[in-house]
Amino acid sequence: MSRKGKLYGIGVGPGDPDLITIKAVRILKSVSVIFAASSTKNDYSLARNIICKHAPNANIETLPFPMNNDKVVLQKAWERNAKTVLKALSERGDVAFVTLGDPMTYSTFSYLLKTVRNIESQTDVEIIPGITSYQAAASVANIPLVQGDQSLVVVSGAKGSDKLLQTLKRVDNIVILKTYKYFDKIYETLANLDLLDQSTFFSRLGLPGEEIVRNVKSLKSATTSYLSLIIVNRTNNQNLDDK
């Protein structure tokens, strides 16, 4: 008789293979198969490198995720992927899906989870949190994310939208992920609000080519990597180890 396994959503941290939890490593070593989305830019190969360091014998399989904005195409792909995962749960026991950073922060895992649960609502799931990219950024640059009664908002720059402008006007400190596509627009918005020198840019954290730029002003018209983010620290522009 088939045994239904558990689906683990595992965060493997932002890039440095040492920034993964002990629990994540234990589970990665125990599952029958580890799934990773194959086309979210270079996430897949980075996640693979991290896994291989801790679980060299892991059986890693990719779930194809088309580079497409068509909702119908995407939904079909996720249904196919969810069925692959459900089949593995029935036939092979426990499986994992890995994600860079944290699985519940702008992650493909949340789409997979929703689709799996739509097909089989009783699927047993456990999520192992990961260190997010912006936590790693704050640590490497000694920038407190929030202090006292300050507020912090995490936004996506993927659309370079008006929402970003409105948020920047209202909140103390802001993390902007996915800055790569509309970097120019984000730069312009920060410049208009006179926030460039309170903004720190991070790229490829914990990976070869890591870059930290303390004052975003120097990045005018720059081309930035997919793995880039900005922390705007409006109330604390004197970073602890600044200048």
The residue from 116, 205, 213, 219 that contacts ligand SAM (CB under 6 A) is 205
How far apart are CB 16 and ligand SAM at their closest, in Å?
8
Looking at the DSSP bridge assignments, the partners of residue 174 are 153, 232
How far apart are CB 213 and ligand SAM at their closest, in Å?
12
The residue from 35, 65, 183, 202 that contacts ligand SAM (CB under 6 A) is 202
Contacts 24+ apart (CB under 8 A), 205-211: 205/14, 205/15, 205/16, 205/133, 205/136, 205/137, 205/140, 206/13, 206/14, 206/15, 206/16, 206/19, 206/136, 207/15, 207/16, 207/46
How far apart are CB 242 and ligand SAM at their closest, in Å?
20
Q: Which phi and psi angles does 29 have, rounded to 5°? A: -75, -20
- Total residues contacting ligand SAM by CB under 6 A comes to 25
How far apart are CB 64 and ligand SAM at their closest, in Å?
17
How far apart are CB 149 and ligand SAM at their closest, in Å?
25
SS3 25: helix
Return the H-helix or E-strand segment holding 118: helix 108-119
14/160 with CB nearer ligand SAM: 14
How far apart are CB 194 and ligand SAM at their closest, in Å?
23
Q: Any residues with CB less than 8 A from the CB of 140 and at least 6 apart, and which?
A: 202, 205, 212
Query: What mask, x for binding ligand SAM by CB under 6 A, covers residues 6 to 45?
Result: --------xx------------------------------
Residues 129-188 that bind ligand SAM (CB under 6 A): 132-133, 177-180
DSSP percent split of the chain into helix, strand, coil, nearest 5: 35, 20, 45
Told to check if 81 binds ligand SAM by CB under 6 A, we report no
Residues 220-239 that bind ligand SAM (CB under 6 A): 226-229
SS3 100: coil
Structure tokens at 134: 């912006």
The residue from 4, 106, 153, 222 that contacts ligand SAM (CB under 6 A) is 106
Written as one letter, the residue type at 21 is T
Residues near ligand SAM, by CB under 6 A: 14-15, 99-102, 105-107, 132-133, 177-180, 202-207, 226-229
